[in-house]
Structure 1
Amino acid sequence: MSSYQDLLAQKAALEKQAAELEKALTDARRTERAGVINQIKTLMAEHGLTAADLGGGKPAKAPSASAGRKVAPKYRNAATGETWTGRGLQPKWVAGALASGKKLEDFAI
């Protein structure tokens, strides 16, 4: 049966081997990636292509300046004081008033 010290030494040796293997794999990936990039550059030069021709690398669309801003209400229910901006679904009070024959302009602020 192995002693605790022997097991700790084995653990340290295995961790060292794992670190060396990870470094070797990282180096291999880096080398392979560099080769692939060179191959792509060569093919692009042969065919007269640019990065724009590939359609990638388009900048991400910036959020609009008005995104998330509050909008002033455009309509008010005189009886209850409820308001509506005119965006999205009509509130029940607006839908009910329109159904009863009133016009949206009657509630304009």
Structure 2
Amino acid sequence: MATYSELMAQAQALMSQAEQARKNELAAAIADIKAKMKEYGITVADLGGAAAGAKKAAKSKSKAAAKYRGPSGELWAGGPGRKPEWVRAVLAAGKSLEDYRI
């Protein structure tokens, strides 16, 4: 019967082989996907991802429709909770939030 140390060495060797096999299969899958994308003219955006190097748009946590648009294009639904920084700045400057209603 094998000892614990021998079994652990075998397990490590198998894990190393498995990782190498994963890397090889991953490289083949990526090459296949890239070839199909080129063949059909598919872009990353078509797949629902951001284009390489593009900034990701900030996702809104709110499900409500925006009611206000800030000076830099920020959107706010006007719901309960903490007000966005741009809203606090507008109110602190003495301006009306109604000026920013969509």
Give the TM-score of the pair, scaled to structure 2: 0.50
Instruction: Kindly name which structure, 1 or 2, has the bigger radius of gyration based on alpha carbons.
Output: 1
Structure with the bigger percentage of helix? 1
